Amino acid sequence: MDVPLALPFATLVVVLLLSSGPIAAEVDATAVLGEAVLTLDAGNFSEVVAKHEFIVVEFYAPWCGHCKELAPEYEKAASMLRKRDPPVVLAKVDAYDESNKELKDKYKVHGYPAIKIIRKGGSDVSAYGGPRDAEGIVEYLTRQVGPASLEIRSAVDASRSIGDKGVVLVGVFPEFAGIQYENFMAVANKMRTDYDFFHTSDASILPRGDLTVKGPLLRLFKPFDELFVDSQDFDDDAIKKFIEVSGFPTVVTFDADPTNHKFIERYYSTPSAKAMLFLRFSDDRVETFKSQMHEAARQLSGNNISFLIGDVSTADRAFEVVTLTSFSSFLLRIPRTNPLISIHAKLFSISGSKKVMFPSSSC
Ligand X SMILES: *[C@@H]1O[C@H](CO)[C@@H](O)[C@H](O)[C@H]1NC(C)=O
By annotation, the residues acting in catalysis are: 64-67
Give the residue, chosen from 159, 232, 269, 304, that forms a contact with ligand X under the rule CB under 6 A.
304
Sign for the CA dihedral angle at 247, 60, 98, 47 comes to negative
Residue 349 found at the interface with ligand X (CB under 6 A) = yes
20-27 — which CB contacts under 8 Å span 24+ positions? none
Site residues (CB under 6 A) for ligand X, limited to 6-45: 38-41, 43-44
Residue 201 found at the interface with ligand X (CB under 6 A) = no
Q: How far is the CB of 321 from ligand X (least distance, A)?
A: 17
Residue 145 found at the interface with ligand X (CB under 6 A) = no
Q: How far is the CB of 49 from ligand X (least distance, A)?
A: 10
Residue 133 found at the interface with ligand X (CB under 6 A) = no
Q: Output 97 or 265, the one with its CB closest to ligand X.
A: 97
Q: Output 45 or 289, the one with its CB closest to ligand X.
A: 45
Using CA atoms, how far residue 281 sits from 263, 308, 313, 332, 356, in Å, is 18, 13, 8, 18, 21
Report d(CA 194, CA 175) in Å as an integer.
26
Q: Any alpha helices (H) in 112-248, and if so which ranges?
A: 134-145, 155-161, 179-191, 236-246
Contact map string, positions 220 to 249, toward ligand X, x by CB under 6 A: ------------------------------
Residue 302 found at the interface with ligand X (CB under 6 A) = no
Task: For residue 251, give the nearest of 264, 265, 237, 235 by alpha carbon.
Answer: 264
Q: How far is the CB of 303 from ligand X (least distance, A)?
A: 9
Give the residue, chosen from 145, 150, 211, 273, that forms a contact with ligand X under the rule CB under 6 A.
273
Q: How far is the CB of 43 from ligand X (least distance, A)?
A: 5
Angle at which helices 179-191 and 236-246 cross, to 10°: 50
Q: Output 91 or 152, the one with its CB closest to ligand X.
A: 91
Q: Output 318 or 350, the one with its CB closest to ligand X.
A: 350
Report d(CA 92, CA 83) in Å as an integer.
19
Residue 4 found at the interface with ligand X (CB under 6 A) = no
Q: Are strands 273-279 and 323-325 parallel, antiparallel or unpaired?
A: unpaired
Residue 351 found at the interface with ligand X (CB under 6 A) = no
DSSP states of 321-354: S-EEE----BSS---TT-TTEEEEEEEEEEES--
Query: Can you tell me whether residue 119 is helix, strand or coil?
Result: strand
Q: Output 44 or 159, the one with its CB closest to ligand X.
A: 44
Residue 271 found at the interface with ligand X (CB under 6 A) = yes
Sign for the CA dihedral angle at 25, 31, 34, 38 comes to positive
Q: How far is the CB of 108 from ligand X (least distance, A)?
A: 22
Contact map string, positions 45 to 64, toward ligand X, x by CB under 6 A: ---x----------------
- For residue 194, give every residue at least 6 positions away whose Cβ sits within 8 Å of its Cβ, in sequence order, or none: 129, 167, 262
How far from chain centre, in Å, is Cα 302?
28
DSSP states of 3-68: HHHHHHHHHHHHHHHHHHHHHHHHHHHHHHHT--SEEE-TTTHHHHHHT-SEEEEEEE-TT-HHHH
Structure letter (DSSP) for residue 225: T
Site residues (CB under 6 A) for ligand X, limited to 87-106: none
Residue 323 found at the interface with ligand X (CB under 6 A) = no
Q: How far is the CB of 9 from ligand X (least distance, A)?
A: 27
Count of residues touching ligand X (by CB under 6 A): 12
Q: How far is the CB of 278 from ligand X (least distance, A)?
A: 20
Q: Output 38 or 109, the one with its CB closest to ligand X.
A: 38
Give the residue, chosen from 193, 272, 314, 360, that forms a contact with ligand X under the rule CB under 6 A.
272
Q: Which amino acid is at 269?
A: S
Report d(CA 111, CA 99) in Å as an integer.
18
Binding site for ligand X (CB under 6 A): 38-41, 43-44, 48, 271-273, 304, 349
